[in-house]
Every structure is written in structure tokens, then in C-alpha cells.
Structure 1
Amino acid sequence: MVSQLLRQAQDDRLILENLTLILFFEAKKEVKFYSTMAIKT
């Protein structure tokens, strides 16, 4: 039972870390996009 909960917690943490990375890369792409737009105007 305890080991099952621990495994679940590890999976949740991995999912959270992946989501954080994805959000980080998306944010970086948007910043790059907006900065190029700002330069053009």
C-alpha cells in the first residue's frame, strides 16, 4: 500500500516536472515571437 502511494507520488512529480518544462519552453517561444514583433514595428 505504502509503496503504491510512493510510486503514485513519483509519477505525479514527473508529470508536474514535464508540464513545467513544456510551459517554460512555450513561454520562451512566445517571448521570442513578441520581441520580434516589437522590433518590426
Structure 2
Amino acid sequence: MPDIDLGTQMADLIMAQRGYQANAAVVDRAKDSYQAALEIGRN
């Protein structure tokens, strides 16, 4: 019998996925902010 709890592993996977999505959203928003600042500087 494997010593792996599938419920715990699935919960860990979901938490990692949500963390990745949150971090990716922060990066996207920061990129958009920097691009907006560059546009303001050009005008």
C-alpha cells in the first residue's frame, strides 16, 4: 500500500494552483501599470 493520502495531495495541488494564479495576476497588473506609466511619459 502506498503511503500517499490522495485527499491531502489534491488539496496541496489546489492550493499551489491558486497561489500560482494569484501571483500571475499580480505580475499582469504590475506590467499593465508600468505600461500605463510609460504611455503617460510619452505624452
TM-score, reference length from structure 1: 0.79
Off by >4 Å, runs of 4+ in structure 1: none
Unaligned runs of 5+ in 1: 35-41
Aligned to 1:12: 21
User: Cα distance, 1:27 vs. partner?
Assistant: 0.2
Query: Secondary structure of the equivalent of 1:6?
Result: helix
| Separation of aligned partners in 2, 1:31 and 1:16 | 23
Task: Give the length in aligned residue pairs.
Answer: 34
AA in 1 matched with 2:21: D
| Cα-Cα RMSD | 0.4
| Separation of aligned partners in 2, 1:31 and 1:6 | 38
1:1-41 Cα distance to aligned partner (Å, 9 max, x none): 0110000000000100000110000000001111xxxxxxx
Unaligned runs of 5+ in 2: 1-9
